[in-house]
């Protein structure tokens, strides 16, 4: 097994997980804890990894102007790609009309069966946060609390300030700190390597328990909706991200996708952008994307840039409206674009978060919130797919930001 590359082993784990889930059915739940341990292990390194690698990257950048420029570019790129993603979602749903053909009886059954689960999601919907409060919340009042609670934007802010100030103090003072940080960073990366050896088993257990609990009949009922979403997601990842990496990042898409395959598999099986951050950083390192860009773009993107989630919200909103027979005007669709961009900022990179934000989108366009019950049955499967696309988008962004800042292309440096 030693010589088999890791991504192949993870893939085998994924495949065996599906088989085990089909054979064991709901009993597969008994091995879920193996997957949970894996997710906890990989999540354990997220905060230290983001803090130390970003602080180091910023310190080596040491240029506030460059920092501002990279920040602005990243932000514009994120907004643009999210807008493209949601437009693809809306177009696919308008063209392929997944909501037609679902009869009244099935609708009532779905509403009844998933009512309770939907209510618990809806109860989590908060009022749309104001832009000001989002901005204020980026600044941590207490750095320890920010880290302890894994507030990613606050941790990023801390690392940026800390790294910048490290570059401003006298070298004899900063040198030992930089050396210490480098040592810690290396160690944390070593932890990631170690944990990833366990990935095939974790992935096997996760997939087995998801498939074991998944009703095949619900997938058949919602097949059209699931297929339209997956088609849209595949288009976003393979065509849009592929082209962007090719032309803006100057990297062959084949090389890109091969290089990030570990991260794609982990995103798919954990449904969590946050848990995928460490592996994504490793993959980008192998692709020779400089850490000063990847350690900024990836954690920030995992928190605020979710192309897959935005696309899914477009499809889901139109689907639910179609089932309720509510026509969506152009203005309503424009509201969806805006709301989904905001929602993608507000969605946490954890499983199922996109669903809660979807309820917020529905509220804005006057579609009954209970409608989320209609799609809950297949949400986990779609969550796996959209999380993968979320992280592909963030890794593509890193390649592109690297290319736009450096004269050389990633991989040639
Ligand atoms: N699970 C997704 C993520 O972590 C968020 C979502 O539910 O859409 O990226």
DSSP conformation letters of 374-397 = GTGGGHHHHHHHHHHHHHHHHHHH
Segment (H or E) for 307: helix 307-324
- The mean pLDDT of 29-51, rounded to a whole number, is 94
Whole-angstrom Cα distance, residue 229 to residue 285? Answer: 31
Residue 412 — very low, low, confident or very high, per pLDDT cuts 50/70/90? Answer: low
Q: Which residue has the tokens 């993603």?
A: 85
| Domains defined for the chain, CATH in brackets | 6-406 (1.10.3860.10)
In this predicted structure, the answer to whether residue 53 has a pLDDT above a threshold of 50 is yes
Which segment of 9-23, 53-67, 97-111 scores lowest on mean pLDDT?
97-111
pLDDT at 133: 80
pLDDT at 19: 93
Half-sphere exposure of 94 toward its Cβ, with a 13 Å CA cutoff? 14
Residue 277 — very low, low, confident or very high, per pLDDT cuts 50/70/90? Answer: very high
Tell how far the Cα of 356 is from the centroid of ligand 1, in angstroms.
Answer: 10
Tell how far the Cα of 245 is from the centroid of ligand 1, in angstroms.
Answer: 22
Half-sphere exposure of 356 toward its Cβ, with a 13 Å CA cutoff? 17
The pTM of the full predicted model, rounded to 2 decimals, is 0.91
Contact 208, 20 (CB under 8 A): yes
Tell how far the Cα of 63 is from the centroid of ligand 1, in angstroms.
Answer: 33
Q: Which residue has the tokens 């934007």?
A: 153
Whole-angstrom Cα distance, residue 355 to residue 386? Answer: 11
Tell how far the Cα of 274 is from the centroid of ligand 1, in angstroms.
Answer: 9
Whole-angstrom Cα distance, residue 200 to residue 198? Answer: 6
Whole-angstrom Cα distance, residue 249 to residue 375? Answer: 36
Which segment of 65-79, 140-154, 296-310, 332-346 scores lowest on mean pLDDT?
332-346
Supply the DSSP string of 128-177, one letter for each residue.
Answer: PPPHHHHHHHHS-S-HHHHHHTT-HHHHHHHHHHHHHHHHHS-HHHHHHH
Contact 303, 152 (CB under 8 A): yes
Q: Quote the tokens at residue 116.
A: 């309770």
The residue whose CA is least distant from atom 3 of ligand 1 is: 349
Percent of the chain with pLDDT over 70: 96
Would you tell me how many other CB atoms lie within 10 Å of the CB of residue 174?
Answer: 17
pLDDT at 369: 86
Nearest ligand 1 atom, CA 276:
4
pLDDT per residue as tens digits for the range 147-182: 999 898 899 999 999 999 999 999 999 999 999 999
Residue 242 — very low, low, confident or very high, per pLDDT cuts 50/70/90? Answer: very high
In this predicted structure, the answer to whether residue 11 has a pLDDT above a threshold of 60 is yes
Which segment of 129-133, 345-349, 355-359 scores lowest on mean pLDDT?
129-133
- The mean pLDDT of 250-278, rounded to a whole number, is 96
Contact 399, 251 (CB under 8 A): yes
In this predicted structure, the answer to whether residue 353 has a pLDDT above a threshold of 90 is no
In this predicted structure, the answer to whether residue 119 has a pLDDT above a threshold of 90 is no
Residue 371 — very low, low, confident or very high, per pLDDT cuts 50/70/90? Answer: confident
Q: Any residues with Cβ below 6 Å from ligand 1, and which?
A: 271-273, 306, 309, 347, 349-354, 383, 386-387, 390
DSSP character at residue 287 = T
pLDDT at 409: 58
- The mean pLDDT of 364-379, rounded to a whole number, is 87
pLDDT at 410: 63
User: Is the model more confident about 346 or about 48?
Assistant: 48
Q: How far is CA 249 from the centre of its chain?
A: 20
pLDDT at 16: 95
Contact 98, 317 (CB under 8 A): no
Whole-angstrom Cα distance, residue 120 to residue 153? Answer: 26
Would you tell me how many other CB atoms lie within 10 Å of the CB of residue 199?
Answer: 24
Pick the closest to residue 226 from 318, 151, 312 (CA basis): 312
In this predicted structure, the answer to whether residue 233 has a pLDDT above a threshold of 60 is yes
pLDDT at 122: 76
In this predicted structure, the answer to whether residue 2 has a pLDDT above a threshold of 80 is no
pLDDT at 413: 44
Whole-angstrom Cα distance, residue 291 to residue 107? Answer: 49
Nearest ligand 1 atom, CA 306:
9
pLDDT at 126: 62
pLDDT per residue as tens digits for the range 61-94: 777 888 899 999 999 999 999 999 999 999 999 9
pLDDT at 143: 95
């Amino acid at each position: 097994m030693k010589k088999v590359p890791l991504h192949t082993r993870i893939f085998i784990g994924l495949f065996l997980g599906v088989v085990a889930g089909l054979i064991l059915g709901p009993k597969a739940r008994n091995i879920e804890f193996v997957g949970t341990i894996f997710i906890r292990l990989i999540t354990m390194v997220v905060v230290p990894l983001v803090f130390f690698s970003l602080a180091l990257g910023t310190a080596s950048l040491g240029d506030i102007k460059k920092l501002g420029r990279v920040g602005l570019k990243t932000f514009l790129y994120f907004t643009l790609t999210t807008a493209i993603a949601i437009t693809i979602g809306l177009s696919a749903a308008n063209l392929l009309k997944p909501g037609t053909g679902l009869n009244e009886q099935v609708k009532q059954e779905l509403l009844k069966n998933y009512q309770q689960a939907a209510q618990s999601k809806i109860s989590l919907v908060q009022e749309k946060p104001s832009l000001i409060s989002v901005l204020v919340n980026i600044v941590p009042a207490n750095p320890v609390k920010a880290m302890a609670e894994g507030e990613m934007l606050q941790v990023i802010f801390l690392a940026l300030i800390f790294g910048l100030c490290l570059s401003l103090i006298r070298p004899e003072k900063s040198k030992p700190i930089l050396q210490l940080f480098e040592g810690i960073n290396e160690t944390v990366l070593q932890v990631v390597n170690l944990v990833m050896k366990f990935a095939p088993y974790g992935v096997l257990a996760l997939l087995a328990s998801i498939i074991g609990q998944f009703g095949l009949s619900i997938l058949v009922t919602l097949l059209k909706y699931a297929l339209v979403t997956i088609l849209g997601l595949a288009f976003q990842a393979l065509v849009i991200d592929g082209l962007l990496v090719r032309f803006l990042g100057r990297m062959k898409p084949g090389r890109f996708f091969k290089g990030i395959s570990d991260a794609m598999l982990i995103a798919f099986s954990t449904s969590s952008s946050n848990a995928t951050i460490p592996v994504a950083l490793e993959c980008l390192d192998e692709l020779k994307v400089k850490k000063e860009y990847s350690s900024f773009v990836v954690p920030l993107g995992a928190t605020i840039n979710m192309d897959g989630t935005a696309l899914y919200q477009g499809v889901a909103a139109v689907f639910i409206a179609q089932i309720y027979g509510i026509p969506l005007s152009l203005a309503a669709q424009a509201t969806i674009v805006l709301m989904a961009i905001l929602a993608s900022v507000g969605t946490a990179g954890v499983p199922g978060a996109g669903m809660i934000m979807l309820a917020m989108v529905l509220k804005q366009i006057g579609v009954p919130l209970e409608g989320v019950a209609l799609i809950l049955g297949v949400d986990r499967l779609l969550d796996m797919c959209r999380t993968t696309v979320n992280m592909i988008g963030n890794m593509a962004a890193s390649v592109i930001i690297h290319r736009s800042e450096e004269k050389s292309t990633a991989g040639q440096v």
